[in-house]
Amino acid sequence: MSYAELSREELEALKAALEAEYAEHCAKGLALNMARGKPGADQLALSLPMLDCVNATTELFAEDGTDCRNYGVMDGIPEAKRLMASIMDHDAERVCVFGNSSLNIMYDLVSHGMLYGYLGAPAWKTLPEIAWICPSPGYDRHFAICEQLGIRMIPVRMTETGPDMDEVERIAASDASVKGIWCVPQYSNPTGAVYSDEVVRRLASMECAAEDFRIFWDNAYCVHHLYEGREAHVADIAAACEASGHPDRYFKFASTSKVTFPGAGIAAVAASAANIAEIKSRVGVQTVGYDKLNQLRHVKFLGDANGMAEHMKKHAAIIAPKFDMVLDMLEAGLEGVGATWSKPDGGYFISFEGLPGTAKRTVALAKEAGVTMTGAGATWPYKNDPRDTNIRIAPTLPPMNELEQAMEVFVCCVKLASVEALLAE
């Protein structure tokens, strides 16, 4: 049965049945939250032993003799650089390990462009307008940085292999006010897409009207695989940029927020030697140095790339069943509705595409029934989803039984909003 083929009478009858089911959900007094991509409590427990790796009885010196309790080494202790470099496909000398948040580093680097400019180019604040390419749906906090700093956002549609590159190339080549692009190249937030080699190559080699154009390569989910044997590994943007004669075009980012503890992990930026030198000179004014005890703690706990991969398998064992359950419930519950959704191999989200004009209504219905989802529209610049279709589903935080309840409500809300939209046509 396809909703689109139902008669008005059939739709009216379906609506009445769905309203009755919805009222039952509302009567349960649920308070469930699927709004943010947070690890569940059982995932956080995986990293509890890390808290014992650095304490009053353990070694508190880095391998180069740095006393991690004291000031010094603004750009990260060598072993932490090596650890982050190993998951960022970079050499450790051109990696800085900073504080607890990669988003914070991204914010700082966009701010540096605004205030000072990159590698001798004019500060953006001296220019009439700055614009940014925003593959959408995308990560709301990237868009919030642009919005706060007054950068005009240009949405470009995401495809299954990355942003629509014809559009990206056209925009980057034609407008010197376009200074950058947000990219979550592996298990993208929220679509789960992995950029193809072709997309990586085109981003690196495309003509840019702005000489100081930067690819913000936020590889937040570089080690966050869900299924053994289906691990993605996006092509290295640094190598691609170097090969096409644009060695300074990218900044890579990663963190251990969803490896160990969100808010208490370590975050890093990797870039060309020239960019790293400039970043260090600027960040060195912002801080005397970051939390080296936490860097040491992470190295002792995770070890190296292999240790990290083993640890990530434990996360996958907890969250893959949650993704599977959500996908099964969408599949079973939404037959014929005409909605679609992503089936990611990693990352933290399932991206849901409802019928045109139904996302806001669906999220509002769910909220009313006690299930908080990410706000509809949040995945687009200015919270403006032009077709009002996209909803980001974040399955990791609720325990399985709560997730199941929340998805029952969600499925009911999608159906009700869809029937309402069809009746309103």
Residues that bind ligand PMP (CB under 6 A): 37, 101-103, 139, 184, 189, 218, 220, 255, 257-258, 262, 267
Cβ closest to ligand PMP, residue 358 vs residue 396: 396
Cβ closest to ligand PMP, residue 218 vs residue 420: 218
What's the closest the beta carbon of residue 312 comes to ligand PMP, in angstroms?
15
Do 153 and 139 touch, CB atoms closer than 8 A? no
Write out the E strands in 344-410. 350-353, 371-373, 390-393
- The residue among 399, 228, 398, 222 whose CA lies nearest residue 313 is 228
Q: Which residues contact 250 (CB under 8 A, 6 or more apart)?
A: 204, 214, 215, 217, 237, 238, 241, 271, 272
What's the closest the beta carbon of residue 184 comes to ligand PMP, in angstroms?
4
Cβ closest to ligand PMP, residue 294 vs residue 418: 294
Distance CA 66, CA 72 (A): 8
- The residue among 104, 99, 102, 152 whose CA lies nearest residue 124 is 152
Residue 292: how many CB atoms within 10 A of its CB?
26
Half-sphere exposure of 190 (CA within 13 A, CB side): 27
What's the closest the beta carbon of residue 305 comes to ligand PMP, in angstroms?
18
Structure-block tokens of residue 269? 């930026």
What's the closest the beta carbon of residue 121 comes to ligand PMP, in angstroms?
25
Q: Which residues contact 168 (CB under 8 A, 6 or more apart)?
A: 133, 135, 156, 181, 202, 203, 206
Cβ closest to ligand PMP, residue 145 vs residue 419: 145
Cβ closest to ligand PMP, residue 220 vs residue 319: 220
- The gap from C-alpha 103 to its chain's centroid, in whole angstroms, comes to 10
Cβ closest to ligand PMP, residue 68 vs residue 220: 220
What's the closest the beta carbon of residue 17 comes to ligand PMP, in angstroms?
38
What's the closest the beta carbon of residue 231 comes to ligand PMP, in angstroms?
18
Cβ closest to ligand PMP, residue 183 vs residue 422: 183
Cβ closest to ligand PMP, residue 101 vs residue 389: 101
How far, CA to CA in Å, does 229 sit from each of 149, 191, 196, 313?
42, 20, 18, 12
- CB-nearest residue to ligand PMP: 255
Pairing of strands 350-353, 390-393: antiparallel
Cβ closest to ligand PMP, residue 258 vs residue 311: 258
Could you tell me if residue 376 is left (phi over 0), alpha (psi between -120 and 50 degrees) or otherwise beta?
A: beta
What's the closest the beta carbon of residue 161 comes to ligand PMP, in angstroms?
18
What's the closest the beta carbon of residue 235 comes to ligand PMP, in angstroms?
18
Tokens 């470099």 correspond to what residue? 85
What's the closest the beta carbon of residue 330 comes to ligand PMP, in angstroms?
21
- The residue among 40, 14, 97 whose CA lies nearest residue 418 is 14
